Copies of this chain bind each other. A is one copy, B any other.
Amino acid sequence: MALPPTPATDDASNPKIKNTVDVRESRRLIENLIKDGVDGIAVNGTLGEMATLTEHEWQTFAKTVVETVKDNRPDLPLFVGATTLNTRDTLRRIEYLVDELKHYGVFLGRPMWCEMSPEAIVGYYKSIVDVYPEISIMLYDNPEAFKGPIPTKVYKTLAEKVPQIVAAKYIALTPKFYEDLRAVGSNIKLLPLEVDWLPAYLYSKDVNGTWSSSAACGPEPVIALRNAIFKNDLESAIWLTNRIRWTYETFLAFRDFREFSRYNIPIEKVRFNECGYVKAGPARPPYDYIPPEYEELTKESGRRWRILVKEVNEKGLTHNFSLKL
């Protein structure tokens, strides 16, 4: 599951500009991800700038992505972000997806002005599917963004009571991951980050998916990892996991996740732009500042990913291997 950015025009950091979605580049990005073999796409999480797009821009981008997928691989799982500050604004976003675009995959975090209580989280997701029972939801579980993780007991309730929830983007391979895995059973697919996928998969073959924003830096290493895991080529899977980890050595998310969470949007933009697979453009306000020392470390991480893509291609690890989830 690739998590690409929302490509921005060159003037997107200027708060006076109203249309900052680079539609042509957005289309090109989605086409290339599909061509290069990703098995799913989720847009408009944190790095996908759900927070900083205007509603009009969000519609423009959603339309572009949905149509590009329909034109190129209509069966591809695609989840479009619809997280806002409250239930009703989110319902309006979903109304656009469903009624205007006939699209049913939603990538959904939760309101974060106030930390939501366990009861409120359950109530929120239930309210959404009460109105739109036909959608499929991929949860967005980000403890920094949404002021705490989804509690295990909430996972359990959602798995039992909200069948529309089919997957969850999960941040880190902590002991809680294993506990949540037991809580959701086979009802919700917990997706760890690609670098955590192998150990999670060794624990349970139910963990048969992963998410990756690095896929938008060039998906080849993640595709290769998928191939290696599903072919039981453990040697390649270990090698790939370790090389991906090597690219993250200078990436702030792996040094201090809380500090990363203050700069994640512009940091990811710098990394995407350094890798060159997509022209992500500048970050939108107000999350457009990045301390110079982090910028340099991030670029190094991007350069390493480029090297890894080259290594993977030279080794021929990305040969055709199409997956149906």
Residues of A within 8 A of B (CB): 15-16, 18, 46, 50-54, 84-89, 91-92, 110-117, 119-121, 123-124, 127, 130-131, 144-145, 147, 152, 172-176, 178-179, 182, 198-199, 202-204, 234, 238, 241-242, 245, 248-249, 253-255, 257-258, 261-265, 284-289, 291
Contact = CB atoms under 8 A, between A and B. Distances in A.
A88 B202 contact: no
Nearest to A152: B255
Given A123-B289, A178-B249, A241-B203, A15 B88 contact: yes
How many chain copies does the complex carry?
4
Contacts of A257: 175
Contacts of A144: 114-115
Nearest to A117: B262
A119 to B, nearest CB: 4
B179 A255 contact: yes
B145 A113 contact: yes
Contacts of A286: 86-87, 110-111, 116, 120-121, 123-124, 127
A46 B131 contact: no
B265 A114 contact: yes
Contacts of A287: 86, 111, 114, 116, 120
A112 B113 contact: yes
A99 to B, nearest CB: 15
Contact of A262 (B51, B85, B116, B174): B116
Contact of A285 (B15, B123, B202, B285): B123
